């Protein structure tokens, strides 16, 4: 029963400050166990019951240090103390238990006890969440927080391709600039080329956004030919036209896989670990900038300018972190990187030991110009600036 | 020791999915108690120690139903089970324990045991958080989640007035459109008129954003005269010039208090309960629209258009909710209001019983035009459409 967590009315999200009014009750965990423990015997029948199955492939609980420490406590307390992740997971299951059009199931696969199940299902990274939906397996490698996971699952159950019908929706399409997005222009939903496109979309859904239009007027505004698909990198103004239209699903998949590391990408809670693991030679160029702050906005504009000018450089990928998206990490980053996140920062971080070198920007002075920033980035890419050389001479500018 | 929460390594935020790389460790609660229990004897000396003191004025713990239920469990478990809010609060205290330039203290005031302390400090709403900083008391009436609270506290410790020095920062200023903001043009930081403005800013900080410029070129771009202050409602393109420049602090405070309920306002986690409590005749007009979705974006543009045309109507205040900001509440709203949040919605909600009436929008059809939406809003304001009359004839359109 270690992963049972049937404890009395424990509240995870407790947002309901006192109030008499109705309409804003943040759900609290009701203590009911909605999560299946999967094993070799039951996994097929459990998974059959749901349209979407979410599996948390977790480290073996018996190995957990905390579990041993508190072994003499009540079983109830033990469960809670050893597996607070469970609360997050149970709350997500509870919240999604109520939506009517899709059946979403939640399960657990223990690394040690259920090794055979993991192997059969193709789960390879322990402490990851795998989502089985429409014959696709989606790996969730983001923050294990109920709200982030639930929001991600809403995206999963949406159609992989969104249709743009009119000018306002087109404005909405242009408004999305933080994600990779594609748009295709096809004759209709029945076009075989649209079907290939839709199939390709399923492979990358929901990490990459796919749009389509069947309206010649919209296509004209996008300057697109029939059956053409355009690929937009985040923060870039002009798309790349994917060559060789019309395309098969495989051609589209191949193109996207070749181009899915943008020159500038935003760290997002739902994919934060995945992004961080995708380093270049063990390093990341990281820019901290608060978009809602005039200084941060100013610096971000400079970074975008540099990214746009260097979008063809395959060795350059800058991670933009908006500190507002990760408030709990701010003091950790300030300590680890020895920087002040009250003003914008750019640096290069070694992902193995978190050693880092930061561009010296006096926050009372002007920001670097785009060309000064470009010079600094060149020095980073050439190895002239290297977080592994710890002496202060490396602090440029 | 009920509010002591010194339990073994409990993790609240457990985001660290397995990974060898460094640089993204989401903090976990370390079990150390950093929260003071305030009472009549110690509150003065405790509060003196900190630049900023955060007080959670909580309901008396002995009255808690859960506490009674689990009374026979281990004390350790009891504490956790009765006060998960405590985890959120302890984690916030832990995260902010490490920042160096400000000392931020966290305390608890029990509604029953410490009534005299609450009275002396002016705490009147139980289950609210009060922040004492620079002789101001700020009431936090938002989501009790560690990340939301911590982000709010970062805002609290920033300067109340941000200075705009150059064109890029001005662009950043214009980019902020979801909050009430003000900008003043003064000769310098030493100008007595700036000092009055800065004092007024402290009264509303951090809920309302205050900017200033000392640069005639920036002022020219804003078409501002010396000592003028402009007031921007959220989502409006043109500001109102506050009449009667130069202003005293009192004149500014009075103007802002008269205008602090915008025609269109966004529900934000850090002030969600405060916003919801600010109803008009017990009702709210609520628009749900996902900004990152082309349909949602389209509808939001229509709502903004209507708000801009009716900004002088004091009876109109629409609350825009982006479902992406409240993923855990989505199924609750869908159930309570009997709507599908997969597409945009607008309705009127009675805050006492959550009865509601929603504009009938067929999501396969076009959205309502601005003028159709205006007609609907007029019917709501005149009482022709009323959530208290539950029969279906009220479903207009």
Of B126, B171, B324, the CB nearest to A18: B126
B19 touching A (Cβ < 8 Å): yes
Q: Where in chain B is the domain with CATH 3.40.30.10?
A: 6-157, 161-258, 264-396
- Token representation of residue A332: 């950790």
Is the pLDDT score of A311 beyond 70?
Answer: yes
Q: What is the pLDDT of residues A105-127, one digit of tens each?
A: 999 888 888 899 999 999 988 88
Of the pLDDT bands very low, low, confident and very high (cuts 50, 70, 90), residue A86 is low
Burial class (CB within 10 angstroms; exposed 0-12, middle 13-18, buried 19+) of B346: buried
Of the pLDDT bands very low, low, confident and very high (cuts 50, 70, 90), residue B199 is very high
Subunit contact B17:A70, Cβ cutoff 8 A: no
How distant is the alpha carbon of residue A189 from its chain centre?
A: 29
Name the 3-class secondary structure at B198. Answer: helix
Is the pLDDT score of A13 beyond 70?
Answer: no
Subunit contact B276:A147, Cβ cutoff 8 A: no
User: How many residues does this entry show for chain B?
Assistant: 397
Subunit contact A127:B351, Cβ cutoff 8 A: no
Interface test with chain B among A9, A21, A23, by most B beta carbons within 10 Å: A23
pLDDT, mean over chain A: 84
| pTM of this structure | 0.86
**CATH code 2.60.40.650 for B161-258:** no
pLDDT number for residue B73: 38
Subunit contact B12:A154, Cβ cutoff 8 A: no
Whether B142 and B207 have beta carbons less than 8 Å apart is answered as no
The residues, any chain, with a CB within 8 Å of residue B367's CB and separated by 6 or more, are A168, B295, B298, B299, B302, B344, B361
Range ranked top by mean pLDDT from A114-128, B76-90, B260-274: B260-274
Interface test with chain B among A294, A336, A357, by most B beta carbons within 10 Å: A294
Phi, psi at residue B265, to the nearest 5°? -135, 150
Which stretch of DSSP H or E encloses residue B3?
A: none
A324 touching B (Cβ < 8 Å): yes
Measured at the alpha carbon of residue B29, what is the angle toward residues B28 and B34, in degrees to the nearest 5?
145
Q: What is the DSSP string of B96-111?
A: HHT-SS--EEEEEEET
Of the pLDDT bands very low, low, confident and very high (cuts 50, 70, 90), residue A394 is very low
Percentage of chain B lying above the pLDDT 90 cut: 61
Subunit contact A175:B19, Cβ cutoff 8 A: no
B69 touching A (Cβ < 8 Å): yes
A174 touching B (Cβ < 8 Å): no
The rounded distance, in Å, linking the Cα atoms of A128 and A56 is 6
Select A264-396's CATH number: 3.30.470.20, 3.40.30.10, 3.20.20.140, 3.40.50.720.
3.40.30.10
A26 touching B (Cβ < 8 Å): yes
Subunit contact B11:A332, Cβ cutoff 8 A: no
Burial class (CB within 10 angstroms; exposed 0-12, middle 13-18, buried 19+) of A211: buried
How many C-beta atoms surround the C-beta of residue B382 within 10 A? 10
Please write down the long-range contacts of B216-222, taking CB distance under 8 Å and 24 or more positions apart: B218/B164, B218/B165, B218/B166, B218/B167, B218/B170, B218/B185, B219/B185, B221/B167, B221/B170, B222/B170, B222/B183, B222/B185
Contacts of B148 in chain A (CB under 8 A): 327
The residues, any chain, with a CB within 8 Å of residue A29's CB and separated by 6 or more, are A9, A10, A11, A12, A13, A87, A90, A91, A94
**Closest alpha carbon within chain A to B279:** A21
A296 touching B (Cβ < 8 Å): yes
> What part of B 186-245 touches A (C-beta under 8 Å)?
211
Burial class (CB within 10 angstroms; exposed 0-12, middle 13-18, buried 19+) of B246: middle
Is the pLDDT score of A352 beyond 80?
Answer: yes
Is the pLDDT score of A396 beyond 50?
Answer: no
Is the pLDDT score of B213 beyond 70?
Answer: yes
Of the pLDDT bands very low, low, confident and very high (cuts 50, 70, 90), residue A100 is low
Q: What is the pLDDT of residues B303-362, one digit of tens each?
A: 999 999 999 998 899 999 999 999 989 999 999 999 999 899 999 999 988 999 999 886
Subunit contact A76:B73, Cβ cutoff 8 A: yes
Of the pLDDT bands very low, low, confident and very high (cuts 50, 70, 90), residue B89 is confident
Residue B350 half-sphere exposure, CB side, CA atoms within 13 Å?
13
Subunit contact B169:A9, Cβ cutoff 8 A: no
Of B8, B150, B176, the CB nearest to A69: B8
User: Could you tell me which CATH number the domain at A6-157 has?
Assistant: 3.40.30.10
Of the pLDDT bands very low, low, confident and very high (cuts 50, 70, 90), residue B258 is very high
pLDDT, mean over chain B: 84
Give strand pairing partners of B139.
B130
Instruction: Examine the predicted complex and report whether its ipTM is higher than 0.90.
Output: no
Name the 3-class secondary structure at B34. Answer: coil
Name the 3-class secondary structure at B307. Answer: helix
> What part of A 96-155 touches B (C-beta under 8 Å)?
96, 98-99, 125-128, 141, 143-148, 150-151, 154
B6 touching A (Cβ < 8 Å): no
Subunit contact B164:A96, Cβ cutoff 8 A: no
pLDDT number for residue B10: 34
Q: What is the pLDDT of residues B130-172, one digit of tens each?
A: 999 988 899 999 988 888 999 999 999 999 999 999 998 999 9
Q: What is the pLDDT of residues B283-305, one digit of tens each?
A: 999 999 999 999 999 999 999 99
Residue A138 to residues A47, A133, A271: CA-CA distances in angstroms? 15, 8, 12
């Amino acid at each position: 029963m270690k992963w049972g967590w049937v404890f009395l009315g424990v509240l995870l999200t407790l947002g309901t400050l006192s109030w008499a009014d109705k309409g804003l009750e943040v759900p609290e965990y009701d203590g009911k166990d909605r999560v299946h423990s999967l094993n070799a015997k039951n996994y097929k029948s459990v998974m059959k019951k749901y349209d979407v199955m979410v599996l948390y492939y977790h480290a073996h609980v018996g190995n957990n240090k905390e579990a041993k420490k508190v072994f003499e406590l009540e079983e109830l307390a033990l469960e809670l103390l050893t597996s607070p992740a469970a609360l997050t997971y149970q709350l997500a299951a509870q919240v999604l238990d109520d939506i009517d059009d899709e059946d979403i199931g939640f399960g657990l696969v223990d690394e040690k006890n259920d090794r055979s199940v993991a192997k059969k299902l193709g789960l390879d990274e322990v402490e990851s969440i795998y989502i089985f939906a429409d014959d696709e397996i989606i790996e969730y490698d983001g923050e294990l927080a109920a709200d982030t996971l639930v929001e991600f699952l809403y995206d999963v159950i949406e159609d992989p391709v969104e249709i743009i019908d009119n000018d306002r929706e087109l404005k909405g399409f242009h408004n999305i600039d933080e994600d990779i997005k594609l748009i295709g222009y096809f004759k209709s939903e029945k076009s075989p080329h649209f079907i290939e496109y839709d199939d390709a979309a399923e492979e990358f859904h929901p990490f990459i956004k796919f749009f389509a239009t069947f309206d010649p007027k919209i296509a004209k505004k996008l300057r697109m030919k029939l059956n053409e698909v355009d690929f937009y990198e985040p923060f870039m103004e002009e798309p790349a036209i994917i060559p060789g239209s019309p395309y098969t699903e495989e051609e589209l998949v191949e193109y996207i896989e070749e181009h899915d590391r943008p020159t500038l990408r935003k760290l997002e809670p739902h994919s934060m670990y995945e992004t961080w693991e995708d380093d270049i030679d063990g390093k990341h160029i990281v820019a901290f900038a608060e978009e809602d702050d005039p200084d941060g906005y100013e610096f971000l504009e400079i970074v975008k300018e540099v990214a746009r000018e260097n979008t063809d450089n395959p060795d350059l990928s800058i991670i933009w972190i908006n500190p507002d998206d990760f408030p709990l990490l701010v003091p950790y980053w300030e300590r680890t990187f020895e920087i002040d996140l009250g003003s914008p920062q750019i640096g290069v971080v070694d992902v193995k030991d978190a050693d880092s070198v930061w561009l010296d920007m006096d926050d009372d002075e002007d920001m670097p110009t785009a060309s000064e920033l470009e010079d600094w980035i060149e020095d980073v890419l050439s190895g002239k600036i290297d977080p592994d050389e710890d002496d202060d001479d490396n602090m440029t500018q």
